[in-house]
Structure 1
Amino acid sequence: MMFRKMTLWGLAALLSLTLPAAAVFIWHRSWWPLIVFVLWTSAAFAVIGVLQRRKHREQCDRLLMHGHLSAIRTLSHHRHDWMNELQIVYGYLRLNKLDKAVEVVDRIRGRMEQDSRLSQIGIPELAAFLLSFRTVCDTMRLDVDIQDGLHLDRLPCEAEELSRTIIGLVNVIRFRATLPTGGENVLKLTLSQTEGDLKIVMDYYGELAASDSVVDELEKCLQGKGQIDQGKEPAEQSEQARTMVIHLPLPA
């Protein structure tokens, strides 16, 4: 693993140690090859350390740049959405359709309240994923409903592991959602805490590829740490609707 992370110059510095080592072997009766070997080794590891720190800084810079670009895309997408909504409101006001304008304003307020709850969910990685979902997925819409007062970072479980699990569950549906021939694919994700577990309800309406194996993929994401209930059978809803209820037990 160490060699995989090392740069070519670092490997060259490490391999250069064979020269003083060979000198020690050849002139083993002399004292100077040993001194050269010690000094050479110190210099080689100093070079390796400098190169590794430089590589680490470059990786951090790339991650920071990726984060900045992702934030810019998210803000740009949200600005575009708000401009569209404001244009609709302006159009209704111009037509003196106040009731329609109020409906749009209520819709905007609902979305702003949802974004506010998402930003306070307690796990930055998960909050960023959910808030930026509209910018990375064009095959379905994600609506998130979070129980009032629920902060995932305060639950008695590993926050990062919980974040990866929820993101994985959403991605199972995301990667199987196909471009709809009519209407819109919608996944409603509901998070709530019940006695002894975290309840995740996934209500999906739309088209899915290989829908018969969705539950198997969700179970892989859970890795045996939760239970999936099918909820309502698809036959009781429309052919394109299904509900999956996931219970993640919380340590006492």
Structure 2
Amino acid sequence: MAVKKKQYQAEHQKQRAEIDQAYTQLDEVYAVAVDALSHHRHDWMNELQLLYGYVQLGKRDKQVECVERIKEQMLAESRVSKLGIHSLVFYLQSFKAVNRSIQLEVELSDGITLADRLGTEQSEELTRVIKETVSAYEQFGGSSWGECPTLFLMVSEYEGAVHFIFEPEEEYPNPDGAWEAVNLIIQDTGITATRTEEDPASISLQVLVDSKN
């Protein structure tokens, strides 16, 4: 009887620890979401204040430029939201709120979605690879990459694969270090990586996908 009671207590403590860990992770997600929403609200307020200033000054050409910029930002966010992998969408849309050391600019071709085209394991794997590739650029760029440098991530689809192309805006100090790191990151996955001699700092990741329905 005493043995069963100890086993029950041990199992109960284990379940309690797992629940506590789940709540901690959930709280972390909520915190990131709140930061991301706050960041977006701040950005939109800046744009609206700028637009209001142009209206007050009667600068019609600047008003048009501002409206077009806002429209393009909305379209870009809409494209990201349609990627179809929730964890990846959340990472990309909350990046600016979480990471202040580099700026990630995401550009997607129209109509790209991975919804129902990758399995659950493949989707999680792709999200991890994207995250770790960004971190590799940040790590191997170091302080010599500049203050808050910009990394472009361009996503397009052709020849039966979706291509995620990473391209630093500024001159990148350690392309070979980033390249070696990315090859370790994609090891034992279905994702491949390529780069060119002309632009060794630009790395393209390719993931094969099912054709659209």
- The TM-score normalised by the length of structure 2 is 0.84
Aligned residue for 1:172?
136
Aligned residue for 1:127?
89
Deviates further, 242-251 or 54-63: 242-251
For residues 107 and 231 of structure 1, the distance between their equivalents in structure 2, rounded to whole angstroms, comes to: 35
After superposition, give the CA deviation of every residue in 1:183-205 in whole Å (9 maximum; x if it has no partner). x6222211122223222222211
The 3 A distance-change label for structure 1 pair 156 and 64 is closer
Q: Does 1:226 align with 2:192?
A: yes
After superposition, give the CA deviation of every residue in 1:48-103 in whole Å (9 maximum; x if it has no partner). 12212221221121111111111111111111111111111112112211111211
Aligned residue for 1:55?
17
For residues 81 and 30 of structure 2, the distance between their equivalents in structure 1, rounded to whole angstroms, comes to: 17
The 3 A distance-change label for structure 1 pair 151 and 231 is farther
Deviates further, 93-102 or 148-157: 148-157
For residues 22 and 66 of structure 2, the distance between their equivalents in structure 1, rounded to whole angstroms, comes to: 42
For residues 197 and 152 of structure 2, the distance between their equivalents in structure 1, rounded to whole angstroms, comes to: 14
The 3 A distance-change label for structure 1 pair 186 and 41 is same
Aligned residue for 1:148?
110
Shift of residue 209 of structure 1? 4.8
Aligned residue for 1:190?
154
Aligned residue for 2:42?
80
For residues 46 and 210 of structure 2, the distance between their equivalents in structure 1, rounded to whole angstroms, comes to: 45
| Root-mean-square deviation (Å) | 2.4
For residues 185 and 226 of structure 1, the distance between their equivalents in structure 2, rounded to whole angstroms, comes to: 26
After superposition, give the CA deviation of every residue in 1:96-151 in whole Å (9 maximum; x if it has no partner). 11111211121111111111221221111111110011112223321212232222
Which secondary structure state, in structure 2, belongs to the residue aligned with residue 149 of structure 1? coil
Deviates further, 127-136 or 204-213: 204-213
Which secondary structure state, in structure 1, belongs to the residue aligned with residue 106 of structure 2? strand
Q: Does 1:244 align with 2:203?
A: yes
Aligned residue for 1:90?
52
Which secondary structure state, in structure 2, belongs to the residue aligned with residue 227 of structure 1? strand
The 3 A distance-change label for structure 1 pair 196 and 202 is same
For residues 114 and 126 of structure 2, the distance between their equivalents in structure 1, rounded to whole angstroms, comes to: 8
- Pick one of 82, 101, 112 that aligns with 2:74: 112
For residues 128 and 150 of structure 1, the distance between their equivalents in structure 2, rounded to whole angstroms, comes to: 16
Contact 1:177 1:185 (8 Å CA) reproduced: no
Deviates further, 108-117 or 72-81: 108-117
Which secondary structure state, in structure 1, belongs to the residue aligned with residue 112 of structure 2? coil
For residues 23 and 30 of structure 2, the distance between their equivalents in structure 1, rounded to whole angstroms, comes to: 10
For residues 250 and 223 of structure 1, the distance between their equivalents in structure 2, rounded to whole angstroms, comes to: 18
Identity %: 29
For residues 232 and 106 of structure 1, the distance between their equivalents in structure 2, rounded to whole angstroms, comes to: 34
> Counterpart of 1:195 in structure 2: which amino acid?
E
- Pair member with larger Rg: 1
Contact 1:177 1:208 (8 Å CA) reproduced: no
Shift of residue 169 of structure 1? 1.7
Structure with more relative contact order (C-alpha pairs < 8 Å, separation 6 or more): 2
